[in-house]
């Protein structure tokens, strides 16, 4: 039995790599739940309330999957990244929701930069709980962060290079836990790549740049992840041909922000909303006509 | 000419109106009562899966703008409510209205500097001293209104002459809106409290008691919960509700800190009122209430997260709980039927 279970959802797409490197360095065994599949989805629907957003539902499904496969499940809580950079309230609540549902022990830390609770402190706390020495932790954390930063830099430069391509360029504006989830966004991305489209991801820009740019499009916005996402639109607005918004039903920040942004920008865009009943066939038709329209614009 | 308008919530238009009309040399437009037409207007212009308060307030704003309002005031809570104003401003501009939007609170907090800056946009020559004085009176007015409402909720189900509570309250609100000083307000409050206590009731020793918890807007705006409290009162039920403006402004942050210490159900603030409601649910269970009703507008994210935990607590203490999720398309008959069944069940439990 592995020691730590990491659910592949929500936080995983922001911190998964750091966690993996950190635990590898400390020689702690971990298991990451597989890509969202039918089995997990069935578990998710049983474990979650019917009005929760699809991303939270699948996350709870992943937790259910891991329940008897590990000793601890890692579930952090993220409240804010300094002033005016809140996260969605689901990120605040998910630890308490899971705690009341499962008997498996939970590992958790809290990121709340307004109260000076950082990732570093959180990971130190977890490792200490698992019985590691301080000097080991320090080394492991340092290595993990360096490795993560290197990898991130590479991803960003690949993404930036795509902007120079001659193909039709489409920016995907969506939270990474939706974009890369095999049930929500993966099919869409696959379809686009198959149709010879250069896919640019909104989360693979430096957040320092996009966060500030996001404010120019939506002033006083205080959702950090949404700000990063829409900042990428401002960053590459002259270089892209179209935008695809993907959101899970019913995402709270997206319902406001995407509506506001689509009213303000003048780039062709479609808004795809995925719920637990939607099939890819329906989406395919919409994507096809969107691509046709973009092609038509080029020919004129 | 400055015409100020703001979306209303329950009876709180009285103190808000009082404050604005005393600070600014402006005409305060009273928002018309919410009707099905308001909701229709709001829904038509709202995004797809927004929570219901957005639709209500947007509808009210359109109606106010049609009455020639040119300054709109909006406030925000700790969830996505805090970002309503910016999107509503854009939607109304796209509809072709000309106005200025003032958003006093974002993400649940505000400070004097921000308010000062925003008030200067309305009237550059407004008096700060006056604002502090009348602000103080308005806040006290809110406090007194909430106290009286608490008393009414406990007793309105047992009044001997129908409508005596409501009529007296309407009279009180009119008197409140014409106060000149704090002392006068306090005297009025004491006088009316006495009069409320003198209203004859036939309250039994152990009446049915129901606690109402849930999302704040739906709780406080009676139209959006289809006059739930009124319907309960007609069935001779004592009602307890925690959420009111005074609670949100002054008591919440302190109480929440206390709650979250050594709590077996919640460790963190789950956003908006979710953690509060979990603890209120526990309080109701432990203090012998016969039933709990949880209401929210559909898609209210923090409450959706809190619901499984509330359900767990209620089933642990074996207290019946009823969940309502109100949308602009909810039918009133459906609610009535469910409420009657719930009430019958409670009464049967009580008798056995």
Neighbours of B160 (CB within 10 A): 9
Residues of A in contact with B53 (CB under 8 A): none
Taking residues A45-53, report their average pLDDT.
Answer: 88
* 3-state DSSP of B51-85: CHHHHHHHHHHHHHHHCCCCEEEECCCCCHHHHHH
B103 part of a folded domain? yes
Q: For residues A275 and B176, give the distance between their C-alpha atoms in angstroms, rounded to a whole number.
A: 50
Residue B86 has its nearest CB partner, among A53, A93, A220, at A220
Mean pLDDT over all residues of chain A? 90
Closest-CA residue to B326 (of B232, B242, B221, B234): B221
**pLDDT value at position A62?**
94
Give Cα separations from B36 to A264, A270, B31, B43, B76 (angstroms): 30, 32, 15, 10, 24
Q: Is B132 among the domain residues?
A: no
Tokens 């925000």 belong to which residue? B76
Residue B206 phi, psi dihedral angles, 5° rounding: -125, 85
**A89-99 helix and B274-286 helix, angle to the nearest 10 degrees:** 40
Give kind and range of the element (H or E) at residue B199.
none
A220/B272 touch (CB, cutoff 8 Å), yes or no: no
Question: For residue B58, what are the CA distances in angstroms to A169, B24, B54, B67, B128?
Answer: 37, 24, 6, 14, 30
Average pLDDT over residues A52-65: 93
Mean pLDDT of chain B: 89
Of A95, A221, A252, the CB nearest to B267: A95
Cis ω on the peptide bond leading into residue A250 (within 30° of 0)?
yes
Place of tokens 């709870």: A60
Cα(A107)–Cα(A127) distance, integer angstroms: 10
A219 interface with B at CB cutoff 8 Å:
yes
Is the domain of B158 the same as that of B58?
no
Residue-range definition of the domain harbouring residue B119: 3-126
Closest chain A residue to B312, measured at CA: A100
The whole-number pLDDT of residue A298 equals 58
Cβ of A265 under 8 Å from any chain B Cβ? Answer: no
Site from A48, A49, A93 to mutate, B interface, most B CB atoms within 10 angstroms = A93
Contact B304 A252 (CB under 8 A): no
- Residue at a domain's end among B162, B180, B202: B202
Q: Which domains does chain A have, with CATH numbers?
A: 2-148 (3.40.50), 165-299 (3.40.50.11900)
Which structure tokens are listed for B206?
Answer: 């152990």
Within the 56-85 window of chain A, which residues sit less than 8 Å (CB to CB) from chain B?
56, 77, 79, 84
Residue with the bigger pLDDT between B60 and B26: it is B60
Strand order in the sheet with B3-5: B27-29, B3-5, B71-74, B100-103
- Candidates A88, A92, A219; nearest CB to B268: A92
pLDDT in tens, B318-344: 999 999 988 877 788 888 899 999 999
What's the CA gap between B267 and B259, in Å, rounded? 9
Q: Which among B107, B301, B309 is the nearest to A222, CB-wise? A: B107
Could you tell me if B191 and B210 lie in one domain? no
- Please report the DSSP string for B213-258 in residue order: EE-HHHHH-GGGGTTHHHHHHHT-EEEEE---HHIIIIIHHHHHHH
Q: Is A160 in the B-facing interface, judged by CB distances under 8 Å?
A: no
Pair B196, B210 in one domain: no
Number of domains in chain B: 3
- Does B177 share its domain with B306? no
pTM of the model: 0.92
Within 8 A of A117 by CB-CB distance, chain B residues are none
Neighbours of A176 (CB within 10 A): 21
How near does any CA of chain B get to the CA of A216, in Å?
13
- Does residue B214 belong to any structural domain of this protein? yes
**CA B156 vs CA A261, B204, B206: distances in Å:** 48, 13, 15
Task: Give a yes or no: residue B133 inside a domain.
Answer: no
pLDDT at A300 over 60: no
**Residues B336 and B213 grouped into a single domain:** yes
Two tokens at B277?
């409601």
Can you give the CATH number for the domain in which B237 is found? Answer: 3.40.50.11900
Residue B98 shares a structural domain with residue B222: no
Residue-wise pLDDT tens digits, A240-297? 999 999 999 888 889 899 999 999 999 999 999 998 887 888 889 999 999 999 887 6
Is residue B126 scored above 60 in pLDDT? yes
Q: Kindly report, residue by residue over B44-85, the tens digit of the pLDDT.
A: 999 888 888 899 899 999 999 999 998 998 887 778 888 888
């Amino acid at each position: 039995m592995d020691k730590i279970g990491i659910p592949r959802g929500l936080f995983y797409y922001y911190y998964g790599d750091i966690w993996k490197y950190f635990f590898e360095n400390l020689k702690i065994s971990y298991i990451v739940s597989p890509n969202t599949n039918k089995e997990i989805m069935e578990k998710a629907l049983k474990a979650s309330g019917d009005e929760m957003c699809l991303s939270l539902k699948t996350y709870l499904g992943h937790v259910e999957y891991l329940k008897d496969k590990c000793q601890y499940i890692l579930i952090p809580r993220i409240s804010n990244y300094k002033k005016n950079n809140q996260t969605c309230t689901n990120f605040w609540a998910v630890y308490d929701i899971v705690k009341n549902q499962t008997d498996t022990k939970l590992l958790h830390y809290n990121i709340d930069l307004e109260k000076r609770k950082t990732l570093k402190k959180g990971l130190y706390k977890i490792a200490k709980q698992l019985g590691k020495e301080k000097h080991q932790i320090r080394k492991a954390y340092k290595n993990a962060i360096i490795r993560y930063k290197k990898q991130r830099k590479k991803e960003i430069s690949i993404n930036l290079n795509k902007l120079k391509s001659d193909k039709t360029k489409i920016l995907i504006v969506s939270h990474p836990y939706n974009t890369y989830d095999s049930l929500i966004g993966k099919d869409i991305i696959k379809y686009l790549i198959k149709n010879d489209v250069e896919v640019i991801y909104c989360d693979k820009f430096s957040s320092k740049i996009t966060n500030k740019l996001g404010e120019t499009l939506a002033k006083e916005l205080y959702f950090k992840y949404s700000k990063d996402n829409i900042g990428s639109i401002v960053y590459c607005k002259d270089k892209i041909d179209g935008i695809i918004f993907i959101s899970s039903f019913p995402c709270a920040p997206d319902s406001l922000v995407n509506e506001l942004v689509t009213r303000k920008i003048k780039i062709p865009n479609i808004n795809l909303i995925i719920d637990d009943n939607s099939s890819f066939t329906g989406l395919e038709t919409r994507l096809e006509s969107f691509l046709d329209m973009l092609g038509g614009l080029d020919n004129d | 000419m400055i015409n100020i308008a703001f979306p209303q919530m329950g009876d709180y238009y009285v103190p808000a109106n009082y404050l604005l009309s005393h600070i600014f040399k402006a005409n305060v437009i009273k928002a018309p009562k919410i009707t099905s037409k308001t909701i229709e207007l709001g829904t038509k212009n709202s995004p797809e899966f927004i929570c219901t308060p957005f639709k209500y307030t947007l509808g009210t704003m359109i109606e106010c703008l049609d009455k020639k309002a040119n300054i709109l005031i909006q406030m925000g809570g700790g969830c996505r409510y805090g970002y309503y104003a910016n999107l509503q401003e854009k939607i109304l501009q796209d509809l072709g209205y000309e106005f200025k939007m003032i958003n006093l609170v974002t993400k649940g907090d505000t400070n004097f500097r921000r308010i000062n800056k925003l008030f200067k946009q309305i009237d550059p020559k407004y008096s700060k001293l006056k604002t502090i004085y009348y602000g103080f009176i308005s806040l006290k007015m809110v406090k007194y209104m909430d106290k009286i409402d608490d008393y009414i909720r406990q007793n309105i189900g047992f009044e001997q002459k129908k409508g005596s509570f409501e009529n007296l309250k309407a009279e009180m609100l009119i008197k409140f809106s014409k106060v000149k000083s704090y002392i006068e307000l306090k005297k009025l409050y004491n006088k009316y409290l006495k009069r409320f206590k003198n209203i004859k009731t036939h309250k039994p020793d152990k009446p049915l008691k129901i606690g109402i918890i849930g999302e704040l807007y739906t709780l406080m705006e009676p139209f959006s919960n289809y006059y739930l409290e009124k319907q309960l009162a007609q069935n001779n039920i004592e009602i307890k509700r925690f959420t009111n403006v005074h609670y949100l402004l002054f008591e919440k942050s302190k109480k929440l800190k206390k709650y979250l210490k050594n709590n077996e159900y919640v460790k963190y603030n789950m956003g908006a009122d979710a953690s509060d409601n979990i603890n209120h649910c526990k309080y109701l269970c432990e203090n012998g209430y016969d039933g709990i009703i949880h209401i929210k507008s559909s898609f209210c994210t923090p409450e959706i997260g809190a619901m499984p935990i509330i359900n767990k607590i209620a089933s642990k203490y074996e207290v019946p709980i009823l969940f309502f999720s109100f949308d602009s398309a909810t039918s009133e008959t459906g609610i009535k039927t469910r409420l009657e069944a719930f009430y019958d069940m409670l009464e049967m439990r009580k008798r056995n």
